[in-house]
Amino acid sequence: MAADVHKKKSWEVPNGSLAPGDGQHTERSESPTPGLAQGTEPGMEHSSPRREARGGKSSSSCGLGPPQPCGRGRWAHSSPAGPAPTGCCGMGRGGRSPLHPSPSMGDTRTDAAWPVVPGAGQEGAMFVHTRSYEDLTSPEDGAAAARSPEERRGEPAEQSSMEQISKDFSELSTQLTGMALDLEEEMRPGKEGKLEPSPQTARRDSVLSGKEEEDVTMDAWRLHRKHVFVLSEAGKPVYSRYGSEEALSSTMGVMMALVSFLEAEKNAIRSIHADGYKVVFVRRSPLVLVAVARTRQSEQEIAHELLYIYYQILSLLTWTQLNHIFQQKQNYDLRRLLAGSERITDNLLDLMAHDPSFLMGAVRCLPLAASVRDAVSSSLQQAKAKSLVFSILLSGNQLVSLVRKKDQFLHPIDLHLLFNLISSSSSFREGEAWTPICLPKFNSSGFFHAHISYLEQEMDLCLLLVSTDREDFFTVSDCKRRFQERLRRRGVQHALQEALRTPFYSVAQVGIPDLRHFIYKSKSSGLFTSPEIEAPYVQEEEKERLLGLYQYLHSRAHNSSRPLKNIYFTGPRENLLAWVTNAFELYVCYSPLGTKAGAINAVNKLMKWIRKEEDRLFILTPQTY
């Protein structure tokens, strides 16, 4: 099955990673390989303990597949044709090379490295193939790691299958855009313990991650609104939003020193405050997350955003694997595993800076006539499969419909991570993707497999089917087909298209002259609604400023020791009102010319309007399979 890709990889990268050192693995691991339950694989020896870590125990999240003879990845493409039968395949999400550890128990060792095609960044197909076990042959990590690339090449059997796969891939042309291939190199297994960045690494920082390298001593770097750093307990950089991790390694070392100093005194560092900025620390062993923010957000809100970053990392690795890695090797360089995922994290941070969903901890629905939404939901509901847990239809970052298994609930954080994943890559438009993903709030120890595809090329309508079984690509893909068929049969496609043309409503519809914008969140459903942001908040900074004001009101209303129910804020450019009850939260922005009495009147009107429109703005009756 070795694809060309695969071959390439195999030679290239010798550096250590968790992955078993054999070349075989080079592909990214894709999935949580359920099938790989220990011992099941032929050829596989015991993988080193560290590999095992990745698995989660949760059976729910990933079914253990029957033992597969070989765990190679299967990739899926829109044309079902090509896929290799065995194995699951993870697709890389655009741009990142995820490594998904397999959740299943034990020894799964699939570490995948991506194929590395230097320079191919944009084009390379990014599927992740799982290697079969055999590939993994490595007896022990050490040994595996020690193997020279040549040795790896010497395992033709595997490769051929890989080739097949990769060929299929290329035919399918599923391409994840923007992956930096170099990253993959990083990921590849190499000798452990060698942490020095290879030349490629350096390149990757500049090229792959797509970030300009910034001089971290320059004012421009210092003045970024919000820095985010992730580091391991050994003080090793894992992620930095701006500037290369290398250049910042000493700064991160200091951060870790501060954290450990206070921990040694049985205390815990929370934040540092200075004029104009704060530094917030969040400790989630084995990681430390730090933000340096010049925004007006409270410490609690910044910490909340850092938790999102933490969950984002878990969604790629699972908590179980993350912990296992660091138990095995404290100073492991996690960037190897996360290489390529920077884009997803960057995108998440950008999204949080202008999308109120994260602040609200809720999801926004696409405004849609109830009858259309019902038709869509029941079509989704009918297109079910045994392994399906959630079927989600979304457009932009708005939810169109969500159907779930009985008694299974999707936490808004998990849904946000899925939205972010989809919005961070345009590659999903190209076909069907099948990718492992951990939903940390649902189960942080295992992977689900997500089938991601757009319904039609031109339409911004993305279908996300979350399955527990990595072998179920075809079944799930068939669900998609059935769903589309039903949609067609019910004749709602046109109405849906129509609704997509105006994904936001105007605040003018409410009919209150001084009203500029609002956010209404229904606490019980975890959904919120909000009109389009219109003039005078046209420019990006203005939009962010408005969100900043909402953040400010939110933080005052939710201050842990001094919560407030009502806040009326009069500023030079707008007036705002916040009202928090047990059932809902409402944040309203008015023109600066109105009065407080007027604002309160307007709230009553607004509430009536929302009630009247609620079946269009919200999903009132969530469906289950």
* 141 token code pair: 């990590």
Residue 217 and residue 477: Cα distance in Å, rounded? 50
Distance CA 492, CA 379 (A): 10
Amino acid occupying residue 336: R
Q: What number of chain residues touch other proteins (CB under 8 A)?
A: 44
Q: How far is the CB of 210 from other proteins (least distance, A)?
A: 24
Rounded Cα distance between 413 and 177, Å, is: 25
**Position 333: which residue type?**
D
Q: Give, as ranges, the residues between 246 and 265 that touch other proteins (CB under 8 A).
A: 251, 254-255, 257-258, 261-262
CB of 325 to other proteins, least distance (A): 27
Which window, 267-275, 345-353, 369-377, 428-436, contacts other proteins (CB under 8 A)?
267-275
Among 457, 524, 560, 604, binds other proteins (CB under 8 A): 560
Task: Judge whether 426 and 126 are in contact, CB under 8 Å.
Answer: no
Among 167, 191, 211, 556, binds other proteins (CB under 8 A): 556
**What are the Cα distances from residue 468, in Å, to 129, 205, 330, 400, 519?**
18, 34, 31, 22, 35
Answer whether 134's CB lies under 8 Å from 70's CB: yes
> Comparing C-alpha atoms, which of 166, 167, 57 is closest to residue 112?
166
Structure-derived torsion over alpha carbons of residues 317, 479, 619, 534, reported in degrees to the nearest 10: 70
Burial class (CB in 10 A: 0-12, 13-18, 19+), 11: middle
Residue 180 CA: distances (Å) to CA of 200, 336, 367, 578: 11, 13, 37, 44
Task: Give me the least distance between CB of 545 and other proteins, in Å please.
Answer: 8
Q: What is the per-residue binding string for other proteins in 207-246, x denoting contact by CB under 8 A?
A: ---------------x----x-------------------
Q: Does 572 bind other proteins (CB under 8 A)?
A: yes
Query: Quick check: 524 binds other proteins (CB under 8 A)?
Result: no
Q: How far is the CB of 592 from other proteins (least distance, A)?
A: 9
Residues 593-622 that bind other proteins (CB under 8 A): 596
Per CB under 8 A, the list member of 457, 524, 539, 561 interacting with other proteins is 561
Residues in region 63-82 near other proteins by CB under 8 A? none
Residue 591 engages other proteins in binding (rule: CB under 8 A) = no
- Closest separation between CB of residue 577 and other proteins, Å? 9
Q: How far is the CB of 521 from other proteins (least distance, A)?
A: 17
Least distance in angstroms from the C-beta of 328 to other proteins: 29
Segments in 355-406 forming alpha helices (H): 356-360, 370-382
User: Cis omega (within 30 of 0) on the bond before 20?
Assistant: no
Q: Are 432 and 78 in contact (CB under 8 A)?
A: yes
Q: Tell me how far apart the alpha carbons of residues 61 and 23 are, in angstroms, rounded to a whole number.
A: 29
Span interacting with other proteins, options 163-171, 192-200, 266-274, 461-469, rule CB under 8 A: 266-274
CA dist 475 and 58 (Å) reads: 22
Q: Which is nearer to other proteins, 295 or 391 (CB)?
A: 295
Work out how close the CB of 261 gets to other proteins at its nearest, in angstroms, rounded to a whole number: 6
Q: In whole angstroms, how close is the CB of 570 to other proteins at the nearest point?
A: 4
Query: Quick check: 464 and 451 in contact, CB under 8 A?
Result: yes
Q: 247, 567, 607, 620: which one contacts other proteins (CB under 8 A)?
A: 567
Q: In what order do the strands lie in the sheet with 287-293?
A: 237-240, 226-232, 287-293, 277-284
Residue number with CB closer to other proteins (457 or 561): 561
Using the rule CB under 8 A, which residue among 442, 483, 552, 625 binds other proteins? 552
Nearer to other proteins, 254 or 508 (CB): 254
Rounded to the nearest 10 degrees, what angle do helices 412-423 and 342-354 cross at? Answer: 110
The residue among 6 and 241 lying less far from other proteins, judged by its C-beta, is 241
Binding test (CB under 8 A) with other proteins, winner from 328, 569, 584, 622: 569
> Is 566 a residue that touches other proteins (CB under 8 A)?
yes
Phi first, then psi: what are they for 480, rounded to 5°? -60, -45
Residues in Cβ contact with 617 at an 8 Å cutoff, skipping those fewer than 6 apart: 365, 367, 529, 610
Q: What is the x/- site pattern for other proteins, positions 297-326, by CB under 8 A?
A: --x---------------------------
* 491 belongs to the binding site for other proteins (CB under 8 A): no
Position 570 contacts other proteins (CB under 8 A): yes
Distance CA 456, CA 431 (A): 10
Closest separation in Å from C-beta 360 to other proteins: 18
User: Which is nearer to other proteins, 143 or 567 (by Cβ)?
Assistant: 567
Which part of the chain contacts other proteins (CB under 8 A), choosing from 49-57, 137-145, 161-169, 557-565?
557-565
Cα separation, 608 vs 379, in Å, equals 31
Binding site for other proteins (CB under 8 A): 222, 227, 251, 254-255, 257-258, 261-262, 267-277, 279, 292, 296, 299, 549, 552, 556, 559-573, 580, 596
